[in-house]
Every structure is written in structure tokens, then in C-alpha cells.
Amino acid sequence: MSRKLWPPLLVAALTFIPFQAMAQDADTVADVRCVAVGIRSAELPDSRQKSTGLLMALYFIGRLDGRDPKLDLEVMLSEQLSKMTAADFTAEAIRCGNSLATKGAQITHVGQDLLKQLGAK
């Protein structure tokens, strides 16, 4: 590769890194907010909301751990909880609930396919 190509490639690479980090940070904040919603829902007296909240919290904690096992979840939860309004909780509950429902449907579909495959053997 020509030496003339290195400086533009280096500049391009260094320019891209902050955008990638910002996207990861936005995903992390979004998932932390879902953990907060899940924890709050898990504290409700209604057993269905309680179990859904627990599933939500565990699912999004797993996503966070997979993305960054060294993430200080407690600090990030504290930061987000201090910023979130009642309207934020409502909006995030819808967003996070939809995400969890989509993943649940995918898991159900995979399970059904596996049962069919096992039944055919």
C-alpha cells in the first residue's frame, strides 16, 4: 500500500471510532433504562407485572453483560434513575416491553422448530 494512503486511512479510522463508541453508549444507556423499568415493575404487587419485570431486568442485564462485562451497572442505574421522569418510565416500559416481546417470540419460534426437528427423528 502506498504511503500516501496511510494518512487518509488513519484519519478515517480515528473519525469512525467516536461514532462507534457513541452508538455503543446509546445502546448501553437504553438497556440500563430497561433494567430500571424491569426492576420497578418487579416491585409491583400484580404477579404478572412482577414476573414480566423480573424477566425484563434479567434479559437486559444479560445484554449489558454480553456487551461489557466490566460495566458498573449500579453506577449507571443510579445515573439513569436520577434522570428518569414518570413519562420516561412509561415510554421506556413500552419500548423495552416491545423489545422483550419480540425476543420472546423469537425464542418461542426456535423452540417450536426444535420440537418439530426432535419429533421427526
Residue range 76-105, pLDDT digits in tens: 999 999 999 999 999 999 999 999 999 999
In contact, 55 and 38? CB cutoff 8 Å:
yes
Nearest Cα residue to 39 out of 62, 16, 56, 17: 56
In contact, 67 and 23? CB cutoff 8 Å:
no
pLDDT digits (tens, 9 = 90+) for 57-73: 999 999 999 999 999 99
Residue with cell 421506556: 92
d(CA 120, CA 90) in angstroms, rounded, equals 45
